[in-house]
Structure 1
Amino acid sequence: MMTDTSGTRIGGDVALESLWALGARSVVGLPGQHALGLFDALRRSPLRYLSARVENNAGFMADGLSRVTGNVAPLLLSTGPGALTSLAALQEAKASSIPVLAISAQIPVAGLGGGRHGYLHELPDQSASFRGIVKSVFTVRTMAQIPSALAEAWRTALEAPAGPTLVEIPQDVLLAEADGVVPPVEQIAAVPQPLIPRPEVVEAAARLLAGASNPVIFAGGGVARAGGQNELRELAELLQAPVVTTFGGKNAFPWEHELSAQSWIEDIAVTEFLEAADVLLVVGSGLGEVSSNYHTFAPKGRFIQIEADLGKVNSNHAGLGVHGDAKLALAGITEHLRASNAVIVGVNQRRASTRARIDELLATVTARLDAQPLENERTFVEQLRASVPADTNTFWDMTILAYWAWSAWNPLDGEFATAQGAGGLGYGLPAAMGAAFGLEESGDSSGVLAVSGDGGSLYGIAELATLAQHQLNVTWLIIDDGGYGILREYMEGAFGHATATELSRPDFVALANAFGITAEAASLVDAPAAVARALATPGPSVVVVPTVLGLFAPTHLDRLSS
């Protein structure tokens, strides 16, 4: 039975006071029996609260919140089933280096570690389910531990490579009276330590780049996460080196810059362009399956990799490994080149030739696309891009339109976020909602765009209730092709037939209207204008496009068969 704590400061207050002192201004989550102490404390807290309907969606909301605020996003969870339901979202946060601090309730202290059994939601070792996903786990056992545990989790979440952390707080600790036990929390220090690369390694990287006749830079999401866009641009311009970005690194380098070779990394021509570099600098990417064109990528020249995740340094390709924060490492290389007055081989000649090489590369990609019957898809992507304001943050689920966007979307001044890190369904809408909520925190009423297929949309369909309740400025574009379109294409290509990919689905327009949300169905031709109208109108909206989109040919298959 719950104790009436009305008007009493309790352990839940200590937790929320700690978050406020650490710099949080918004939290995401949903209540549960063991977590009620946290949620009672919300009544007395200045923290803004976004109320999700499903824990996994709450995790994606925290992801979007963190991306737009640039801060740790707190995620409030209950115990057992509630906590476990968040795991897929936390896996995405880990893969994409997004700092989310999950605070999970726990059964009473007496039941921890195999003590008294039989509690509702009890797991033998709840934290074990998280250890392979989050950066750190701490289980609080006394109220006095709460501020320091949260401070350490906050610091760890921010330190490069950023990522999710977990703090568990037992039910009885959350409900216990705090006055006389823990004073009101006002100040906490949680300063992340910079991941400074070793100077001799930075110097070696600078020497290799200075002596290169054909240097190329391959930039991943770690550049943007570290805030190293200016440092990347400065080094690229100093070297006159072309820059290719991974799908997760589209915000790392300006799309229209004269040195930008964009991000068509599934095309063999781009793979060969990277391989042909006599010195290839990979920064902020572990060169995983997609970024390496499905592990067909094989660099021929010298290889440098700047990576914050130690386990990824040179794990896929041998070369010079620079373990460090991308921003600091790029700045260090540039500083060394300038301070040593290094003579950069052939840089003046490259000024005239680099853009020509990039133009030739992109012309090859375009010619390959021209040879495929994809005019409707390409026109749609181009017109949608033209209809969406330049500073719009976009969040993409795992759907065919997102696969197009990975390669073809120019992010301009907005965040480009996708579930490509871990590849789970259901990311687009809740992440966009978290972003919209975070923008409100700073007084920004800009619209946010979420993109899903009909299959992925059903993962987050419950959040229409949250969208309506909070009246968030989110436009949700749903491409309704009647099933799991990507898997349909894969299975038809591999087996000649698709199995278990066709889906019954609701009338999305009527369903959105049932929640009081404006919605409309639009043709492929009319959809860009419909999205533009929706983004320009305050509040939530849904645009449904009944169509089947084709996917451009994955040219890595030519390599795999050769």
Structure 2
Amino acid sequence: MTAQRNGGDLVIETLEALGAKTVFGIPGQHALGLFDALSRSDLHFVSSRVENNSAFAADGYSRATGEVGVLFLSTGPGALTSLAGLQEAYATGVPMVVVASQIPLDGLGARRKGMLHQLDDQKASAANVTKFQQTVHHASGIPSAIQDAWAKAITVPMGPVWVEVPQDVLLAPVMVPPVRDALAEAYDHPPRVELVEEAVRWLSEAKRPAIVAGGGVRRAGAQAALLKAAETLDAPVLCTPGGNGAFGWDHELSLQSWVEDRYVSEVLEDADVLVVIGSSLGEVSSNYFSLAPCGRMIQIDAEPRVLESNTPALGIRADAKAALEFLNDQLAASGFASQADWHGSTPQQVVVQTLAKVQARLDGQDLAKERAFMADIRAAVPDDMQTFWDMTIAAYWGWSCWDARTGEFHSAQGAGGLGFGFPSAIGGAIGTGKRVLAVSGDGSSMYSIAELATAKQHNAPVTWLIVDDGGYGILREYMEGAFGKATATELARPDFVALAQSFGVPARAVAPEGIKDALAEAFEAEGPNVIVVQTLLKMFAPTHL
């Protein structure tokens, strides 16, 4: 006997037609029709233990694979619990389609009080962390709603979108035939010709051009276009934490990712034309708003709200790849020839001198343990391995010192919430089928410790490094620096090794100096595993000594 198709089947069929392969989430009472339909599909469902972690996992899946992350949510508490995870995806520009269930139609708009999970306006709760929200009132409207949402998710600026379907609409029998194909294309935002031409005029007159490459360069796949532009302009390139990996670490024009160093800031400030691509030049990438460019600035970004938001600039709204390719073509057509001259030095000499100053500054601080620790992790991690970093002192180091090589560096610096590292790594591992590394502190790890069950259940090839310093290390350091003492930063925590083992996940504790060998061994294993290092790491001082 063939089961009667319903609204839930339309959701699943449309997602499959759009190319979805994996879905993250947690079942819920009002979403039962959706999950029943899921059982009749080829979609791979990954059930997390907390909705916030489901959102992080779908985010990590998207970052690792380049595909759209798909998230299923229940109503009320389940939907609300996901919001912090969605904030990270929204802030970082990660394309996701969220399908949330809703209470029955006759309860919408608070017309009937007291329904389980009822909110006055559920999708309004998502408005701050998604770029689009819609409630579907009829089953026949489901395919179009999801198709439109998918197109919005992949249109720059990319981000999560929210479609909610009431319980009775998901369960309603449908007469429409199965969804066979669905087309969702991104809307183009080509750069305006006159703005690029003006940028070329500025650059043609520049003697000290420099480039800041943000996460938009990576998301657009604009690395090759950035390399061509940098070499044509003879311009030093600094990658933000989000842009880490957009430009070769060892290239002679690379200032790497030392965004929190005043020596590097001085180079950017000295540029007579600073080109900022795919970055808001926000708090971290502007060295905590201390960056004060003395020359003119060209800012290219797909998000119009970002343009000139922090610094006056020639703002060009466009996808980074499209803009850089057009800029390269216009530079070539104009017969551009570099006249770079940094006060008698070449750009390459400026890069060498600046990086030497950065290292000398670090040499003058008591940071041997921290530098060795990060170097040992980098030495152990294969060049092409993707890494996922929580908001922890090791990640703050990673923002500046991690050479992404051919792998991908993912961190939670978009919104800065705790708990991103491990669940996003699970999503990345499941999406690629390859081993990944997650790095957390003891404080942030507790946000996602339940996902050890998820990693075990799905045999996800994740190595989770927990750096245990007994509390919220970043906040401890901030408070001690500002007030001379820290308050409420010390934490009781479990025996992480025993806890992981109780989930059936292999785990071991190692000393900091043993991290390289421990990681190398863990990377050769099957399924998830955990390494715990008890150590107190310090941050580097970003200003001159």
Question: Who is 2:40 aligned against?
Answer: 44
Q: Of 422, 437, 447, which aligns to 1:449?
A: 437
Q: 3-state DSSP class of the match of 2:305?
A: helix
Name the stretch that deviates more: 547-556 or 491-500.
Answer: 547-556
For the 8 Å contact 1:206–1:334, the answer to whether it is kept is no
Q: 3-state DSSP class of the match of 1:121?
A: coil
Q: 3-state DSSP class of the match of 1:102?
A: strand
1:347-380 Cα distance to aligned partner (Å, 9 max, x none): 8x99982221101001111111111100011011
For the 8 Å contact 2:340–2:346, the answer to whether it is kept is no
Q: 3-state DSSP class of the match of 1:456?
A: helix
Question: Who is 1:443 aligned against?
Answer: none
Name the stretch that deviates more: 545-554 or 413-422.
Answer: 545-554
Question: Who is 2:229 aligned against?
Answer: 235
Question: Who is 2:144 aligned against?
Answer: 148
Q: 3-state DSSP class of the match of 2:512?
A: coil
Q: 3-state DSSP class of the match of 2:189?
A: coil
Partner amino acid, structure 2, of 1:532? A
1:82 aligns with 2:78: yes
Aligned-residue offset at 1:454: 0.3
CA distance in 2, matches of 1:73, 1:496: 44
CA distance in 2, matches of 1:269, 1:47: 50
1:549 aligns with 2:537: yes
Question: Who is 1:486 aligned against?
Answer: 474
CA distance in 2, matches of 1:205, 1:515: 57
Question: Scaled by the length of structure 2, what TM-score is found?
Answer: 0.98
Aligned-residue offset at 1:13: 1.1
Aligned-residue offset at 1:251: 2.0
Q: Of 194, 198, 216, which aligns to 2:188?
A: 194
CA distance in 1, matches of 2:52, 2:390: 14
CA distance in 2, matches of 1:350, 1:239: 17
Question: Who is 1:166 aligned against?
Answer: 162
Q: 3-state DSSP class of the match of 2:162?
A: strand
Question: Who is 1:263 aligned against?
Answer: 257
Q: Of 231, 248, 255, which aligns to 1:254?
A: 248
Question: Who is 2:323 aligned against?
Answer: 329
Q: 3-state DSSP class of the match of 2:489?
A: coil
Q: Of 238, 248, 257, which aligns to 1:244?
A: 238
1:10 aligns with 2:6: yes
For the 8 Å contact 2:130–2:160, the answer to whether it is kept is yes
Partner amino acid, structure 2, of 1:49? F
Q: Of 362, 367, 372, which aligns to 1:374?
A: 367
For the 8 Å contact 2:376–2:515, the answer to whether it is kept is no
Q: Provide structure 2 residue ranges, at least 5 long, that are not aligned to the other structure.
A: none
Partner amino acid, structure 2, of 1:207? R
CA distance in 2, matches of 1:147, 1:118: 31
Q: 3-state DSSP class of the match of 1:249?
A: coil
Partner amino acid, structure 1, of 2:414? G
Note the 1:261-300 alignment, pairs <5 A.
261-300=255-294
1:411-463 Cα distance to aligned partner (Å, 9 max, x none): 111110000010000000000000001013xxxxx210000000000000000
CA distance in 2, matches of 1:29, 1:346: 53
Q: Percent identity?
A: 56
Q: Provide structure 1 residue ranges, at least 5 long, that are not aligned to the other structure.
A: 441-445
Q: Of 396, 403, 408, which aligns to 1:403?
A: 396
Q: Of 353, 357, 360, which aligns to 2:346?
A: 353
1:29–1:503 Cα change, 3 Å? same
CA distance in 1, matches of 2:520, 2:463: 9
Q: 3-state DSSP class of the match of 2:418?
A: coil
Aligned-residue offset at 1:342: 2.8
Partner amino acid, structure 1, of 2:123? S
1:90-119 Cα distance to aligned partner (Å, 9 max, x none): 110011000111110000011112322221
Name the stretch that deviates more: 106-115 or 481-490.
Answer: 106-115
Note the 1:309-328 alignment, pairs <5 A.
309-328=303-322
Question: Who is 1:432 aligned against?
Answer: 425
For the 8 Å contact 2:17–2:180, the answer to whether it is kept is yes
CA distance in 1, matches of 2:344, 2:415: 38
For the 8 Å contact 2:99–2:165, the answer to whether it is kept is yes
For the 8 Å contact 1:240–1:350, the answer to whether it is kept is no
RMSD: 1.5
For the 8 Å contact 1:398–1:424, the answer to whether it is kept is yes
CA distance in 2, matches of 1:6, 1:272: 70
Q: Of 53, 70, 75, which aligns to 1:57?
A: 53
Q: Of 514, 517, 521, which aligns to 1:533?
A: 521
Partner amino acid, structure 2, of 1:241? A
1:52–1:198 Cα change, 3 Å? same
CA distance in 2, matches of 1:497, 1:345: 52
Question: Who is 1:501 aligned against?
Answer: 489
1:372-393 Cα distance to aligned partner (Å, 9 max, x none): 1000110111111011100110
CA distance in 1, matches of 2:37, 2:439: 35
Equivalent residue pairs, number: 545
Q: Of 213, 218, 224, which aligns to 2:212?
A: 218
1:301-342 Cα distance to aligned partner (Å, 9 max, x none): 111000111011111111211111111111111100112223
1:383 aligns with 2:376: yes
Question: Who is 1:344 aligned against?
Answer: 338
1:463 aligns with 2:451: yes
Partner amino acid, structure 2, of 1:166? W
Q: 3-state DSSP class of the match of 2:194?
A: helix
For the 8 Å contact 1:57–1:430, the answer to whether it is kept is yes
CA distance in 2, matches of 1:117, 1:146: 26
CA distance in 1, matches of 2:425, 2:5: 34
1:60-118 Cα distance to aligned partner (Å, 9 max, x none): 00011101221211100000000000111111001100011111000001111232222
1:280-319 Cα distance to aligned partner (Å, 9 max, x none): 0000001111111111111001110001110111111112
For the 8 Å contact 1:93–1:163, the answer to whether it is kept is yes
For the 8 Å contact 2:220–2:319, the answer to whether it is kept is yes
Note the 1:84-99 alignment, pairs <5 A.
84-99=80-95
For the 8 Å contact 2:234–2:340, the answer to whether it is kept is no
Note the 1:517-532 alignment, pairs <5 A.
517-532=505-520
For the 8 Å contact 1:240–1:351, the answer to whether it is kept is no
1:331–1:540 Cα change, 3 Å? same
CA distance in 1, matches of 2:107, 2:404: 50
For the 8 Å contact 1:243–1:260, the answer to whether it is kept is yes
Q: 3-state DSSP class of the match of 1:147?
A: helix
Question: Who is 2:416 aligned against?
Answer: 423
1:114–1:301 Cα change, 3 Å? same
Partner amino acid, structure 1, of 2:376? Q
